[in-house]
């Protein structure tokens, strides 16, 4: 029997069997009030033919959809509304529904039939192991693997200045990146091992001496002991190509950075951890001889802080840190001019604020005191700030803005005590369709250098970056990306001004077990601010 059903309120009744359909969900009930839900889907028109069968038993009922299948507009569904065709539902559900107007209809009662068998349940690989083996196999291991071959063109890979225009030469670079991340729970999710690694091989067509293999490895043990103590032990190793290639031309320089850290915190409540004690050691080593003497450095840091977590991802932390830096390979002559050691004392405030489901504000402000033992009149007090806002305008459009003022040790010119970067960046991302994603980024930055003889405003440089990116999802786990960007540095001296244009085509292949967390562990250098492009991978960092 078929009959028209109104989308606003659809009702069938006969001999103690009632089917009530409101919106997108249809229920069939007995006189006792036990209901069994069935999703009808999104009908193409206002009326949808439905057949209701009354089985002989009064405690088991089903509704069969003979119309359209559910559409993507149905959104998230409860377990009782899973899309399983004409699956029979046996989970009881009691609904206190408001009164509805009943229509008189005809209901056919077929002869007794055998019950429809339930759908087979998915079997995990862990179900096939013996109980003895299960004691040694960690469950819920999460992993992600990425392979990214690509090719890029650069107009000025050596970053030759405007005064060295005759030496400029473009180059084509072939790259292959391999990334992997895994999260292994150890007894529980609160104690887990996190591992990630990236290896990128670059091969230059013209400047063969720039061929390199960059590596970035991270390992961290996150642990919690009872309800009181929480902490971690982590190590990071990074090998990358030295940025200021014009300083080493025609040779190259590889920079090796290793960091070890450990922290422990006392959980006063589920939301408040105080204090958190953290210690770390960082070593930086250069391959190029002159840079090795100038910039090889050891940095030790001790930090005490507290942290409070709130709604969703909102959190705030504050603390005090002390650092001791040592340029251990500087000669006595160079150390007499620019120093060999420095000491930092920093009071800081970090926060992440989920203002709403669509708006997030995060940042860090601090006051840094830097002291140079052995140098007269060079001590500095440096306020720092880094603030970022993300706004999801709609399901398809997102805007991000960043402002910063950051001092950092200069690794380009040994006569510079430190460099201060002040700038801002805006970016927009647009998901045009299920397959197409695009972004645009614009950044402006003022770079000021403080030399051992004093700082002069004439030395400030202006840096501009602009880039666009388009990603096309060929299929699940395969994304083709095309991006282009331009860097331009304008300095008072022509020897310090340069520009570089880049066009890149990549194919990103990804496989994972769909749990998402390891994706956030993968290191993408293009996601570090300030950056020239915005990728979809940056939105998971």
- What pLDDT does 95 receive? 41
Q: For position 541, what pLDDT does the model report? A: 56
Tell me, yes or no, whether 324 and 445 share the same domain.
yes
pLDDT (0 to 100) of residue 494: 81
Contacts of 362 (CB under 8 A, 6+ apart): 351, 352, 353, 387, 388, 389, 390
Give 160-174 pLDDT, tens digit per residue: 888 887 788 899 999
Q: How much is the pLDDT for 454?
A: 54
Same domain, 412 and 366: yes
- Tell me, yes or no, whether 254 and 310 share the same domain: yes
Does residue 82 share a domain with residue 188? no
CATH number, residue 302: 2.40.160
The neighbour count for residue 419, using CB atoms within 10 Å, is 18
Please indicate, yes or no, whether residues 165 and 43 belong to a single structural domain of this protein: no
Task: Say what the pLDDT of residue 326 is.
Answer: 94
Average pLDDT along the chain, 541 residues, taken 10 residues at a time:
40 40 42 38 41 40 38 39 37 44 49 52 45 51 94 92 84 96 88 95 93 96 94 97 82 94 96 96 94 94 96 93 94 86 96 93 96 85 94 94 90 82 94 95 91 62 94 95 94 87 96 77 77 74 56
Chain centroid to Cα 75, Å, comes to: 24
Determine, yes or no, domain membership for 12: yes
Residues in contact with 493: Cβ distance below 8 Å, sequence separation at least 6, in sequence order: none
Q: Which residue range(s) make up the domain with 184? A: 142-540
pLDDT of residue 245: 81
Residue that is last in its domain, among 86, 121, 156: 121
Residues 111 and 150 grouped into a single domain: no
Whether 189 and 268 share a structural domain: yes
Mean pLDDT of the chain: 78
Let me know whether 13 and 60 are in one domain. Answer: yes
DSSP state of 70: P
pLDDT of residue 104: 47
- Concatenating the DSSP letter of every residue in 506-531 gives EEEEEEE-S--GGGGGS--GGGSSS-
Question: pTM of whole model > 0.75?
Answer: no
Residue 126 located in a structural domain? no
C-alpha count within 13 angstroms, C-beta hemisphere, residue 319: 20
116 & 180 share domain: no
Q: Are residues 86 and 210 in the same domain?
A: no
Query: Exposed (0-12), middle (13-18) or buried (19+): which is 534, by Cβ within 10 Å?
Result: buried
In a domain, 287, yes or no: yes
In a domain, residue 513? The reply is yes
Domain boundary among 56, 89, 121: 121
User: How many domains does the structure of the chain reveal?
Assistant: 2
Indicate whether 51 and 17 sit together in one domain: yes
Residue 7 lies in a domain: yes
Q: Does residue 471 share a domain with residue 377?
A: yes
Among residues 61, 89, 121, which one ends one of the domains?
121
Q: Is residue 107 in some structural domain?
A: yes
Task: Answer whether residue 132 is part of any domain.
Answer: no
Is residue 148 assigned to a domain? yes
């Amino acid at each position: 029997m078929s009959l028209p059903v109104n989308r606003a309120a659809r009702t069938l009744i006969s001999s103690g069997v009632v089917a009530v359909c409101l919106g997108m969900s249809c229920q069939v009930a007995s006189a006792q009030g036990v209901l069994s839900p069935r999703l009808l889907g999104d009908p193409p028109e206002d009326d949808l033919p439905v057949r209701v069968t009354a089985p002989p038993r009064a405690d088991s009922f089903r509704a069969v959809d003979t119309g359209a299948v559910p559409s993507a507009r149905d959104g998230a569904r409860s377990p009782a509304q899973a899309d399983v065709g004409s699956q029979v539902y046996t989970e009881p559900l009691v609904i206190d529904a408001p009164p509805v107007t009943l229509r008189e209809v005809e209901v056919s009662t077929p002869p007794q039939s055998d019950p429809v068998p339930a759908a087979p349940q998915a079997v995990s690989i862990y179900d096939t192991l013996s109980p003895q083996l299960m004691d040694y196999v960690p469950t819920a291991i999460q992993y992600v693997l990425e392979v990214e071959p690509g090719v890029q063109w650069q107009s000025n890979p050596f970053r030759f200045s405007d005064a060295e225009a005759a030496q400029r030469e473009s180059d084509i670079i072939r790259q292959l990146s391999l990334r992997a991340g895994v999260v292994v729970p150890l007894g529980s999710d609160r104690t887990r091992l996190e591992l990630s690694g990236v290896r990128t091989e670059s091969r230059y067509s013209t400047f063969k001496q720039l061929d390199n293999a960059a590596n970035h490895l991270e390992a961290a043990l996150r642990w919690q002991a009872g309800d009181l103590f929480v902490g971690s032990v982590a190590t990071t190793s990074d090998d990358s190509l030295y940025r200021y290639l014009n300083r080493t031309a025609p040779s190259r320089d590889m920079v090796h950075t290793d960091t070890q850290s450990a922290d422990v915190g006392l959980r006063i409540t589920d939301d408040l951890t105080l204090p958190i004690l953290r210690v770390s050691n960082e070593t930086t080593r250069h391959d190029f001889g002159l840079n090795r003497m100038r910039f090889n450095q050891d940095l030790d840091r001790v930090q005490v802080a507290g942290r409070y977590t709130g709604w969703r991802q909102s959190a705030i932390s504050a603390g005090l840190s002390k650092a001791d830096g040592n340029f251990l390979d500087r000669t006595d002559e160079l150390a007499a001019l620019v120093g060999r050691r420095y000491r930092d004392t920093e009071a800081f405030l970090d926060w992440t604020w989920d203002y709403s489901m669509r708006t997030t504000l995060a940042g860090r402000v601090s006051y840094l005191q830097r002291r140079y033992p052995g140098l007269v009149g060079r001590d500095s007090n440096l306020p720092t700030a880094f603030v970022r806002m993300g706004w999801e305008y709609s399901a398809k459009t997102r805007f991000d803005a960043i402002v910063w003022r950051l001092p950092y040790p200069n690794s380009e010119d040994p006569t510079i005590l430190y460099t201060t970067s002040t700038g801002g960046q805006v970016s927009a991302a647009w998901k045009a369709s299920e397959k197409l994603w695009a972004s645009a980024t614009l950044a402006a930055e003022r770079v000021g250098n403080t030399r051992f003889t004093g700082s002069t405003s004439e030395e400030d440089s202006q840096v501009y970056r602009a880039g666009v990116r388009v990603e096309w999802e060929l299929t699940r786990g395969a994304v083709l990306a095309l991006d282009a960007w331009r860097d331009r540095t304008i300095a008072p001296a022509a020897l310090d001004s340069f520009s570089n244009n880049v066009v890149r085509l990549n194919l990103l292949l990804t496989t994972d077990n769909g749990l998402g967390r390891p994706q956030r562990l993968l290191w993408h250098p293009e996601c570090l601010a300030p950056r020239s492009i915005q990728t979809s991978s940056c939105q998971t960092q």
